[in-house]
Structure 1
Amino acid sequence: MTGGPARVLWLAKGLGRGGAEQLLVNCARHVDRSRFAVEVAYVLPHKDALVPALRAADVPVHCLGAAPGRRWPLRLRALLAERRFDLVHTHMPVPAVAARLLAGRRKLVHTEHNLWERYRLPTRWANALTYRRNDAVIAVSHAVAAGIGRRRPDDGWLTVVHHGPDLGGAPAGPAARRAARAELGLPDDALVIGTVGNLTAKKDQASLLTAFALLRRTRPDARLVLVGAGPLEARLRELAGDGVLFAGSRGDVPALLPGWDVFCLSSRQEGLPVALMEAMTTGLPSVVTRVGGMPEVLDDGVEGRLVPPGDPAGLAAALGGLAADPGLRERMGAAARERSKAFDVAGAQRAIERVYARVLAR
């Protein structure tokens, strides 16, 4: 390592609008530049929605899949040699495996965002065979940490860091509510339920659509907003009934949240979703499934409701309870806003940098 700031590469599969990718943007704004010079590399050229935000934070970004005729692991090896990084911090399993094989004597830190059961079998095997090469691992929740297990005996090898949203300057109040509803074409007096996530089997929006159809039997004024895009969009549109709005992939989610009355996630698997923390920070009550790290930041009956995954009837009942009681929504929303004061993206970045310092000092 040179006498100046340590050179750190954050390596991701893509930089699309996903929770793990958004965490990179959030953390980039809080890096201690006197100690760490951070750059970002990603593999998939078409997943680049967050590249401008990283560059706006003065973080150099490299696309490893941009050059025709050259495979991205070769470009990764060339980038490592050219930029002389001291440490590589990986964020998704496939590029992480490549980094472990190519990093040489460089230090390696990996952030685990998901439970291993989500990964395909070949990915799990490749991960397992190379995982001990990590000098340190960061888990985004205790549930994710439990899934990792003790794959190395070293004390301090595994650290849990709860991240947080970065909503400084986000709109709020009645004017923001009216603007958000106008942007989405929603009636001022409708009950609006919103969700944010890629349209994939993991997020299980199909169960949410079924639950929403049940809710509409007693609340025909209700609207459901789905923010996100993905491979299941066509199928989900076929399942959707009246009152459902597909808003697509959006970069203005913080501006849309004030227009909603309830936030919902019907996921079957999660690490700790940024979207939930953003909703709580906005002061929204939430109905989410009891999976991953969500029970670590939301108590059932306090900031919202926890329901079993894959249970549309239970989801509909929880949504119905909030729909019928504006006072309950207000109390839970206030509790969510209070709980969100513990979400600290700057503090999370400091915790990550302590891991870096420990690893580099060895």
Structure 2
Amino acid sequence: MRIVYIINSLNGGGAERPLPDIVAQMRARGHDVHVLALARKAGNAVAWLKDAGIVHDILSPRPEKFASLRTTLAAVRRHAPDLIWTSLTRATLYGQMAGIVLRRPVVSWQHNAYLRPWNRRILHATHRLTDLWVADSRFVAKCTARQLNVPERDVITWPLFTAQAHMPQAAPWAGPGDGRGVFRLGTLGRLEAQKNYGLLIQTMACLRDHAPHCRIHLDIGGEGSLAPQLQEQITTLGLDNITLSGFQADPFAYCAGLHGYVQPSLFEGLCIALHEAMQAGVPSIVTPVGAMADVVTDGETGLFLDPPTPERLASLLLRLYDNPALCARMGAAARQQVLSSYNLNAITAQARAVMERAEQLVATQAGAVRAGTSPLTPIR
């Protein structure tokens, strides 16, 4: 079947990073996929799509401006899909409208446990225009059913991370030794309020002032609207133990260069970056929110930041810094956990279940059209 996959932008975040794997699963079942991006934004995902040979169109001529509904409908009609697949709220609303106009079934992703109030109200009102909701984790599936009033039978899970044992592994922290060793701490994500990166900066100031003996350097990888604010905070505090390194095109290599990973988010869905760090064998410190509370086992594969205060985080970081054996043990356990739970066979089985449901939607429509009873005959 022909699938048109509508996504908000090609920014390079958690919704775009799995696109090559998603499309590969669809292609493996013999489907033709065409990606339509409503905006380019930073365009960091463009290279990923090109490398994977994924056909895509950017519908807006201006990088920051989303295409209009009219432009999107014209593009969808031009590709004559059997199925419309959507990712993120604006793309989902446009896809739902295209589903009405073209009378085609719609499948929609949910990537996050938190929806902005306005988005939540809109999707709550339009949720029946999507025929099947797909969540990137069991936690997000529960949130989708609750927040959008979607029957649980219409929400299915497809985790958007596939573990790959051949990806580079991190070298375990060997300890401060003679005092010249530097513990490399990192985090990946959009520089937006939900990631709570201001807490990290406060923590590094706390360590400088109260544990001057420790040598921990924090690297924050990512782009976003808060970059200037975070840099100003770093400068104001006079910190030389933090780097804002920008977008990371190769997150696997980035994680392999760390001794510890930290994710102090206020809310999360699956959090792909955390899985990438665990795959590299890096111990993590995370707030127990979203799917992170499920994937990290406190004290075994990582540590829970609860409560999320600078003092608590500083204490946890010093615990890792002073205990190389603990770092090695947690890192190894984290790697084993993701390789076991998110291996290709496991993810393919879940992807297959989703695709079978989507294929059934198309088959049901086709059968109804042949019988002359379908409400989904395209409007010309």
TM-score (norm 2): 0.84
**Displacement after TM superposition at 1:313 (Å):** 1.9
In the TM superposition, what are the counterparts of 1:295-310 in structure 2 within 5 Å? Answer: 295-308=293-306, 310=308
Q: Secondary structure at the match of 1:224?
A: strand
Moved more, 250-259 or 83-92: 250-259
Is 1:170 the counterpart of 2:167? The answer is yes
In the TM superposition, what are the counterparts of 1:1-362 in structure 2 within 5 Å? Answer: 6-66=1-61, 71-104=67-100, 105-116=103-114, 118-119=115-116, 121-149=117-145, 156-165=153-162, 167=164, 169-172=166-169, 189-216=181-208, 217-218=210-211, 219-240=213-234, 241-308=239-306, 310-341=308-339, 342-344=341-343, 346-347=347-348, 348-362=350-364
Cα distance in 2 for residues equivalent to 1:214 and 1:156: 48
- Cα deviation digits, residues 246-293 of structure 1 (max 9, x gap): 111120221121221001101101001110010011101100111111
Code of the aligned partner of 2:33: V
Given that 1:15 and 1:50 are in contact with CA atoms closer than 8 Å, whether structure 2 keeps it comes out as: yes
Code of the aligned partner of 2:261: F
Given that 2:36 and 2:58 are in contact with CA atoms closer than 8 Å, whether structure 1 keeps it comes out as: yes
Q: Secondary structure at the match of 1:43?
A: strand
Code of the aligned partner of 2:201: L
Code of the aligned partner of 2:125: L
The residue that corresponds to 1:184 in the other structure is none
**Displacement after TM superposition at 1:205 (Å):** 0.3
- Cα deviation digits, residues 6-62 of structure 1 (max 9, x gap): 111211111112111102123223333443111111111233221222132222101
Given that 1:215 and 1:319 are in contact with CA atoms closer than 8 Å, whether structure 2 keeps it comes out as: no
Given that 2:186 and 2:220 are in contact with CA atoms closer than 8 Å, whether structure 1 keeps it comes out as: yes
Code of the aligned partner of 1:122: W
Moved more, 70-79 or 268-277: 70-79
Cα distance in 1 for residues equivalent to 2:62 and 2:230: 35
Cα distance in 2 for residues equivalent to 1:84 and 1:102: 11
C-alpha change, 1:327 and 1:138, in structure 2 (3 Å) is same
Cα distance in 2 for residues equivalent to 1:198 and 1:115: 16
Cα distance in 1 for residues equivalent to 2:223 and 2:333: 30
C-alpha change, 1:34 and 1:136, in structure 2 (3 Å) is closer
C-alpha change, 1:188 and 1:273, in structure 2 (3 Å) is farther
Matched-pair identity in %: 27
Q: Secondary structure at the match of 2:40?
A: coil
Q: Secondary structure at the match of 1:21?
A: coil
Given that 2:5 and 2:84 are in contact with CA atoms closer than 8 Å, whether structure 1 keeps it comes out as: yes
Cα distance in 2 for residues equivalent to 1:124 and 1:265: 25
Given that 2:170 and 2:281 are in contact with CA atoms closer than 8 Å, whether structure 1 keeps it comes out as: no
- Cα deviation digits, residues 208-245 of structure 1 (max 9, x gap): 11122223432441100110111111111122222111
Cα distance in 1 for residues equivalent to 2:141 and 2:354: 15
**Displacement after TM superposition at 1:155 (Å):** 6.2
C-alpha change, 1:102 and 1:313, in structure 2 (3 Å) is same
Code of the aligned partner of 1:223: H
Give the length in aligned residue pairs.
Answer: 345
Cα distance in 1 for residues equivalent to 2:36 and 2:338: 31
TM-score (norm 1): 0.87
Given that 2:138 and 2:157 are in contact with CA atoms closer than 8 Å, whether structure 1 keeps it comes out as: yes
Gaps of 5+ in 1: 1-5, 178-186
**Displacement after TM superposition at 1:153 (Å):** 6.9
C-alpha change, 1:47 and 1:296, in structure 2 (3 Å) is same
C-alpha change, 1:249 and 1:103, in structure 2 (3 Å) is same
Cα distance in 2 for residues equivalent to 1:9 and 1:324: 52
C-alpha change, 1:71 and 1:243, in structure 2 (3 Å) is closer
